[in-house]
Amino acid sequence: MPIEEPPMAVVPPKTVVVVPTYNERDNLPVLAGLLADLPVPNLHLLVVDDNSPDGTGEVADKLVADAPESIGVLHRTTKDGLGRAYLAGMTRALDEGADIVLQMDADLSHPASAIPALLDTLRTRNADVVIGSRYVPGGSTAAEWHWSRRALSAWANAYVDAILRLRLKDATAGFKAWRADTLRALDLPSVRSNGYAFQVEMNYRAARRGFTLAEVPIRFEERDHGTSKMSLAVQLESALLPWRLRFGRNL
End-to-end CA distance of the chain, in Å? 60
Cα separation values, 232 from 133, 195, 229, 235, 236, Å: 24, 11, 10, 5, 6
pTM of the model: 0.88
Q: How many CA atoms lie within 13 A of 94 on its CB side?
A: 19
Enumerate residue ranges in the chain where pLDDT < 50.
225-226, 232
Q: CB–CB of 186/86 below 8 Å?
A: no
The phi, psi pair for 250, rounded to 5°, reads 60, 40
Q: What is the pLDDT of residue 197?
A: 84
Task: Pick left, alpha or beta for residue 81 (phi over 0 → left; psi -120 to 50 → alpha; otherwise beta).
Answer: left
Q: What span, in angstroms and rounded, lies between the C-alpha atoms of 46 and 18?
A: 5
Cα separation values, 235 from 152, 166, 180, 193, 225, Å: 11, 20, 29, 12, 22
Q: What is the pLDDT of residue 189?
A: 93
Q: What span, in angstroms and rounded, lies between the C-alpha atoms of 183 and 55?
A: 31
- Which CATH code for domain 15-247? 3.90.550.10
Q: What is the pLDDT of residue 142?
A: 78
Q: What is the pLDDT of residue 232?
A: 46
Q: What span, in angstroms and rounded, lies between the C-alpha atoms of 202 and 206?
A: 6
Cα separation values, 146 from 93, 149, 250, Å: 36, 5, 39
